[in-house]
Amino acid sequence: MFYKINTYGCQMNVHESEKIAGILENLGYKATNEDSLADIILFNTCCIRENAEDKLFGNVGALKQLKKEKKDLIIAVVGCMTQQEGKASILRQKYPYVDIVLGTSNLEMLEDAINSIRRKKHIVSIVDPTMDADKTLPIYRTSYPNAWVNIMYGCNNFCTYCIVPYVRGRERSRKEVDILDDCKKLLDEGYREITLLGQNVDSYGSDLKGFNFSSLLYKVANLGGEYRVRFMTSHPKDFNDDTIAVISENENICKNIHLPVQSGSTAVLKAMNRKYTRESYLNIIDKIRKQMPECGITSDIMVGFPTETNEDYLDTLTLTEQVRFSNAFTFVYSPRVGTPAAKMVQIPDEIKKERVTKLVDLQNRISKEISLEYIGKTKEILVEDINPKYEGMVCGRTDSGRLVTFNGSSDLIGTFQNVKITHSQSSALFGEME
């Protein structure tokens, strides 16, 4: 018996797919990349932007024929999209051959659902996404030497463009002892990098008494042994001096911070309900750079938010130029039904397109320039994988988060190697092991 999981969206979903795989492996299924071999095909969905949804519908639609030919094939749709109001029933109407639809907070029902399908029943179950954060599921990890560890679920921020709080529910922090326990076990099992996950890791513990992110981060970094710690995502309104101090004082916490700015205009940030200003954002960047000059700072930047004037947009360009992110994900605002921004006056698509093109060009130029600064330097790399594009080459990341490709074989995976960076191609880095 084989399963295939199609994962869309963020790291949260990538990790949740490892939990889905954990359930399926326990049931005796094995992974495959081929639809035609699979006995169960799952879609772990995202609804952050409209194109994520379009892609999902297209891919579910494409299975119609296979399902006709292979009656026992189980098709399941889970994740964020199912949690949007009315979406589960649209799915059922448009794609009646989908057998299982589960929400973000009741994945543990998957096993029962599969057993019921074998009794020829369709299962649709969407519960309130505010589930208990202490619930645990088996995890079939696929990202060695890195291990994802959830520290919290949900989000309380209600940025006016964003659907996540609606589909993932309110913030719930996991207990610190449980997180530390997980991390210890993972290190004992040989994982070499732990990435703490949450929609807004800086507010970890605000729903518990006496716990906060900076002290959790400190504890995770001091479990003993040779390993790295990463975390994502930080929110500029909550990212504080204590966290900066912990990152800079602990060598194994990667000097790599993902700090989404969204916009360089204080007026737009206000309309987005982000609760920080251009100046306060730049102030954080200054502090990071003063204490950790080599820190790689990455970001999410959005253009075309409803109130964004040309001046606001230019503010985003100047901020991008000033901060010099080592990398940034650039997005065109996409209205999400049920969010406040979807009801505002929208910006025409042509203008959005124009704005994003120029922003992408600018960021590409900066990323390339930053890559050039690496050439000639020797960096410690945690080897992650073979690079399938180049024979006899492996790849891994610098502490600052840059991917480097160099000569080597799969037995290096999970080891730390000193690599001299020799050249770059657009912004990708290449080197030689020392």
**Where on the chain is the footprint of ligand F3S (CB under 6 A)?**
9-10, 12-13, 46-48, 80, 163-164, 167-168
Would you say 352 and 333 are in contact if contact means Cβ atoms under 8 Å apart?
yes
Structure token pair of residue 223: 């479990």
Which partner, ligand SF4, ligand F3S, ligand SAH, none, binds residue 158 by CB below 5 to 8 Å per kind?
A: ligand SF4
3 state SS of 376: coil
* Angle formed at CA 159 by CA 154 and CA 164, multiple of 5 degrees: 35
Minimum Å distance from CB 235 to ligand SF4? 5
Q: Is the peptide bond before 306 cis (omega within 30 degrees of 0)?
A: no
Question: Is 199 a binder of ligand SF4 (CB under 6 A)?
Answer: yes
DSSP structure string for 232-247: E---TTT--HHHHHHH
Is 42 or 46 the residue whose CB approaches ligand F3S more closely? 46
Minimum Å distance from CB 156 to ligand SF4? 8
The H or E element that residue 420 is part of is strand 416-425
Contacts of 236 (CB under 8 A, 6+ apart): 259, 260, 261, 274, 276, 280, 281, 284
Total residues at interface with ligand SAH (CB under 6 A): 18
Which partner, ligand SAH, ligand F3S, ligand SF4, none, binds residue 336 by CB below 5 to 8 Å per kind?
A: ligand SAH
Q: What is the dihedral of CA 274, 306, 154, 57, to 10 degrees?
A: -160
DSSP structure string for 172-188: EEPPHHHHHHHHHHHHH
Minimum Å distance from CB 332 to ligand F3S? 15
Question: Is 235 a binder of ligand SF4 (CB under 6 A)?
Answer: yes
Would you say 216 and 177 are in contact if contact means Cβ atoms under 8 Å apart?
no
Q: How many CB atoms lie within 10 A of CB 418?
A: 11
Is 100 or 164 the residue whose CB approaches ligand F3S more closely? 164
Distance CA 351, CA 86 (A): 31
Binding mask 336-375 for ligand SAH (x = CB under 6 A): x---------------------------------------
Minimum Å distance from CB 163 to ligand SF4? 8
Which partner, ligand F3S, ligand SAH, ligand SF4, none, binds residue 165 by CB below 5 to 8 Å per kind?
A: ligand SF4
Distance CA 4, CA 34 (A): 7
Could you give the maximum distance between any two Cα atoms of the chain, in Å?
63
Question: Is 336 a binder of ligand SF4 (CB under 6 A)?
Answer: no
In sequence order, the β-bridge partners of residue 172 are 153
Question: Is 8 a binder of ligand SAH (CB under 6 A)?
Answer: no
Question: Is 400 a binder of ligand SF4 (CB under 6 A)?
Answer: no
Which part of the chain contacts ligand SAH (CB under 6 A), choosing from 146-154, 220-228, 326-334, 367-375?
A: 326-334
Which partner, ligand SAH, ligand F3S, ligand SF4, none, binds residue 80 by CB below 5 to 8 Å per kind?
A: ligand F3S
Question: Is 296 a binder of ligand SF4 (CB under 6 A)?
Answer: no
Q: Is the dihedral of CA 343, 345, 350, 351 positive or negative?
A: negative
Question: Is 82 a binder of ligand SF4 (CB under 6 A)?
Answer: no
Out of 49, 172, 278, 352, name the contact with ligand SAH by CB under 6 A: 49
Which partner, ligand SF4, ligand F3S, ligand SAH, none, binds residue 300 by CB below 5 to 8 Å per kind?
A: ligand SAH
Is 41 or 164 the residue whose CB approaches ligand SAH more closely? 164
Out of 20, 91, 101, 159, name the contact with ligand SF4 by CB under 6 A: 159
Is 141 or 275 the residue whose CB approaches ligand SF4 more closely? 275
- In 234-295, beta strands by DSSP E: 256-258
The H or E element that residue 382 is part of is strand 378-386
Is 353 or 423 the residue whose CB approaches ligand SAH more closely? 353
Question: Is 164 a binder of ligand SF4 (CB under 6 A)?
Answer: yes
Distance CA 1, CA 28 (A): 7
Binding to ligand SAH in span 260-319, by CB under 6 A: 260, 262, 300, 302
The H or E element that residue 124 is part of is strand 123-125
Structure token pair of residue 327: 């990398």
Distance CA 335, CA 354 (A): 18
Distance CA 286, CA 309 (A): 27
Q: In this structure, what are the phi and psi dihedrals at residue 29, rounded to the nearest 5 degrees?
A: -80, 155
Question: Is 331 a binder of ligand SAH (CB under 6 A)?
Answer: yes
Minimum Å distance from CB 365 to ligand SF4? 26
Positions in the binding site for ligand SF4 (CB under 6 A): 155, 157-159, 162, 164-165, 199-200, 235
Q: Which residues bind ligand SAH (CB under 6 A)?
A: 10, 48-49, 161-162, 164, 199-200, 233, 235, 260, 262, 300, 302, 331, 333-334, 336
